[in-house]
Chain A
Amino acid sequence: MIKQMNEKELITIEHIEPIIPEDTDYNFYFGPAHSGSGNFGVKLRIDGEKVTSARADPGYLHRGFEKLMEYRVPMQNAVLSDRVCILEALNWNLVHAEAVDELTGVEVPQRARYIRVLMAELSRLQSHLIWYGVMSLALGFDTGFKMAFGYRDYILDIFELITGGRVYPAGYICPGGVRRDLPDGSEDKIKRVLDQTEEMMQKMKDFDNIVFSRRTKGVGILRTEDAIRLGATGPVLRACGVETDVRKDDPYEIYDELDFDIPVRREGDAYARCLIRGREMEESIKIIKQVLERLPEGKVREPAKITPPSRVKIPEGEVYVRNELARGEGCVYMRSVGEGEPYRVKLRGPDFLHMIPVLEHLLKGSQIADIPAIYWSLNICPADMDR
């Protein structure tokens, strides 16, 4: 029942002082126990709704791989290299194997090179599907998350068939080639999975208008000169208008023989980064189809038999190998003094820079509601940053 207010009551309401909090400044921790942050935290200072400063708080996954590798021979390190980034284990396998190959000067068989590229691109596809999943989750679009992870499992089935491991291939791409040849019938299965992935990509396009564009357009804009100064690479840099891709500019394996495009956009916002990844998936499918068409016959490893580790020595020298991972530029600097184990290994992951300087730069001045969108538009992986 609505009570009719009398004149006296109205006057008292007018005299109530509005509550204006004197202090609108507060600290806000995003992660490390946040469901959408991964094993990583950001300490934010917030004024009202606006982020005034951001400081990354890494170290929750620091395992010291660079040091561990100094105690192990390359075949053991190949297994260790999976663990550098959980989300794209095969790509890290490849960078490590290439560094050892360049030092030993082994001529990797042609078939092994094709299989390496095939696996690296499949790994890129599944990594982008994970990204789509967590990005959807961050934007409150749970359907996208479940679908992406469901479709990713088809690719994991292929990994299980070929490498024996769904997430960690246990050093499948090893120095000298790959551990095993493709099992019978795997090519048809890969083609079927590509069709399924294309189906998912069509769905991603259909979802585009309702969720992605509204939450990400004009959010977290990174200018080209800032991107280069902060050390951004890969899709993050390509979304700022820099046409660069390690596969084209510094080709490794058989990428210079393949026909694919580098998607570039100029906006530099979170939406552009999302679109770039979508286009990259198309290019990866194009690459895999070409690889399957041209796959030559022959050996898959040089030497074909594994020699006891104690007898294998890495010749003296130093190399710096760059690869295009799903997240950006991944590099290995390896120094050898002619022993079985490398003397020094430096792993340069793309997220070391994306998660610390780039993220801090983008979060500063953003709105609190945009934090997840910015965070996941960088497609970050704490494992590869901490190493």
Chain B
Amino acid sequence: MAESLYKENKVIEDISAKFKVAGKVQRERRVWVTVDKDNLIMLCNFVKGLGFEHLSAISVTDWPEEGTFELTYHLWSYSEKILLTIKTKLDRTEPIVNSVISIWGENAQIHERELHELFGVEFEGNEDLTPLFLEDWDGPPPFKKDFDWKEYVRQQCYDQANERERAYYD
């Protein structure tokens, strides 16, 4: 098995030669690296040069206890046939990160716009972060862990004084 993962290990080696990263090969065609926020853009530029030209998705995981947002960039290389995930952490109280539009274009733009709306992450350099899905929403970003959806729906949609809807408050 170790020999068949040559391609995957090579990606980590190439990246480690230039950047200080923690990397692991999860399985065939799956490579994960963690980098700090300051080196993110440089690393993204570098891996695009390695052939990771398809930005499959960007995702945010919220860790309220830790006080961080974890950003994951999922990249696919059409030539190497490897999925590389770049992870980085942001301060939850000041979630600002540089945009990757200059690297992956409109594709990145739309992903960042979605995450800004749902998690409240600011992407510096992305000029169009207008709301995408939620019309007339003025509450907190709804996908954050500390936003209690169930409670919100209860307050908004069910009337405690109404006999039929009281059950939702029990």
Contacts of A66 in B (CB 8 A): 143
Q: A62-B134, A322-B76, A331-B57 are in contact. List 6 more A-B contacts (CB 8 A).
A: A66-B143, A67-B149, A318-B32, A320-B83, A331-B56, A344-B61
Contacts of B134 in A (CB 8 A): 59, 62
Q: From the candidates B30, B55, B133, name the one contacting A231 in the complex (CB within 8 A).
A: B55
Known: A58-B133, A244-B78. A230 touches B106 (CB 8 A): yes
Whether A131 is near chain B, meaning CB under 8 Å from some CB there, is no
Contacts of B7 in A (CB 8 A): none
**Residues of chain A at the chain B interface (Cβ within 8 Å):** 58-59, 62, 64, 66-67, 71, 228-231, 233, 242, 244, 249-250, 318-320, 322, 329, 331, 333, 335, 343-344, 346, 348, 352-353, 356-357, 361, 386
Known: A59-B133, A62-B134. A229 touches B106 (CB 8 A): yes
Whether the pair A352, B56 counts as a contact (CB closer than 8 A) is: no
CA distance A249 to B51 in the complex (A): 15
Q: Which residue of A lies closest to B144 (CB)?
A: A67
Contacts of A231 in B (CB 8 A): 54-55, 104, 106-107, 110
Q: Which of B32, B57, B142, B149 gathers the greatest number of chain A CB atoms within 10 Å?
A: B57
Whether B132 is near chain A, meaning CB under 8 Å from some CB there, is yes
CA distance A109 to B149 in the complex (A): 37
Whether B62 is near chain A, meaning CB under 8 Å from some CB there, is yes
Whether B135 is near chain A, meaning CB under 8 Å from some CB there, is yes
Whether the pair A329, B53 counts as a contact (CB closer than 8 A) is: no
Whether the pair A250, B83 counts as a contact (CB closer than 8 A) is: yes
Main secondary structure of the interface of A (DSSP, over half): mixed
Q: From the candidates A59, A228, A318, A361, name the one contacting B54 in the complex (CB within 8 A).
A: A228
Whether B72 is near chain A, meaning CB under 8 Å from some CB there, is yes
Contacts of B67 in A (CB 8 A): none
Q: Which of A230, A231, A356 gathers the greatest number of chain B CB atoms within 10 Å?
A: A231
What are 7 A-B residue pairs whose CB atoms fall within 8 Å in the complex? Answer: A62-B133, A62-B134, A64-B143, A320-B85, A331-B74, A344-B62, A357-B107
Give the number of residues in B that approach A within 8 Å (Cβ atoms).
Answer: 34
Known: A322-B83, A333-B59. A250 touches B106 (CB 8 A): no
Whether B140 is near chain A, meaning CB under 8 Å from some CB there, is no
Q: From the candidates A64, A233, A329, A343, name the one contacting B142 in the complex (CB within 8 A).
A: A64
Whether the pair A348, B57 counts as a contact (CB closer than 8 A) is: yes
Min C-beta distance of B120 to chain A, whole Å? 14
Across chains A and B, which 3 residue pairs bring their CB atoms closest together, nearest first? A231-B107, A346-B59, A59-B133
Known: A66-B143, A346-B57, A357-B110. A230 touches B105 (CB 8 A): yes
Contacts of B150 in A (CB 8 A): 71
Whether the pair B81, A249 counts as a contact (CB closer than 8 A) is: yes
Contacts of B61 in A (CB 8 A): 335, 343-344
Whether B109 is near chain A, meaning CB under 8 Å from some CB there, is yes
Whether B92 is near chain A, meaning CB under 8 Å from some CB there, is no
Q: From the candidates B56, B78, B85, B106, name the one contacting A348 in the complex (CB within 8 A).
A: B56
Min C-beta distance of B50 to chain A, whole Å? 15
CA distance A270 to B123 in the complex (A): 34
Mark contacts of B98-116 with chain A using CB atoms, 8 A cut-off: 1 yes-contact digit, 0 otherwise. 0000001111011000100
Mark contacts of B43-81 with chain A using CB atoms, 8 A cut-off: 1 yes-contact digit, 0 otherwise. 000000000011111010110000000001010101001
CA distance A331 to B59 in the complex (A): 12
Contacts of A242 in B (CB 8 A): 78
Contacts of A58 in B (CB 8 A): 132-133
Q: Which residue of B lies closest to A244 (CB)?
A: B78
Contacts of A356 in B (CB 8 A): 110
Q: Which residue of B lies closest to A317 (CB)?
A: B26
Min C-beta distance of B119 to chain A, whole Å? 11
Min C-beta distance of A61 to chain B, whole Å? 9
Q: From the candidates A62, A335, A361, name the one contacting B106 in the complex (CB within 8 A).
A: A361
Whether B29 is near chain A, meaning CB under 8 Å from some CB there, is yes
CA distance A249 to B7 in the complex (A): 14
Whether the pair A230, B107 counts as a contact (CB closer than 8 A) is: yes
Min C-beta distance of B151 to chain A, whole Å? 12
Whether the pair B132, A59 counts as a contact (CB closer than 8 A) is: yes
Whether the pair B142, A333 counts as a contact (CB closer than 8 A) is: no
Min C-beta distance of A199 to chain B, whole Å? 36
Contacts of A230 in B (CB 8 A): 105-107
